[in-house]
Structure 1
Amino acid sequence: MVDAVASLSIDNDASPLGKITISAGYVVSPSTHTPGLEQLLSEADLYLYEATLAGKARLAGSTEKQNQAC
């Protein structure tokens, strides 16, 4: 998704990169562990914050394997 938006190459004069970019956070939940929607959104939001802190056009999240340890 981050690359798809970047590939559109939409001008953005307010950005230091000169183009529209996005950052995103994600969580992958294994089928054996189904947390509630609120928990998934909260975790994804934390990863979005992490991606945003890392800079423009970033993606951050957890994998199913990482979540199985929880």
Structure 2
Amino acid sequence: MGSVMEKQDQGAMAEEEEEEVNETGVEPHDIDLIMTQAGVSKSKAAKALKTHNGDIVAANMELTI
């Protein structure tokens, strides 16, 4: 059962990674940092940074807590 869930999660991640990411207003380095620290896709990292006006700590907390 776990392998089925893992495959679904991987499919969802692949779809997110294929999504076009609007990086306007956020630093590419910050997106990479959030992706690494929170273990999320580029689109989720960019969205969290935009939501928190580029605040790396707040974006990371949103994605990890």
TM (norm. structure 1) is 0.31
More helix by percentage? 2
* Structure label with greater radius of gyration: 1
More strand by percentage? 1
TM (norm. structure 2) is 0.32
Bigger RCO (CA 8 Å, 6+ sep): 1
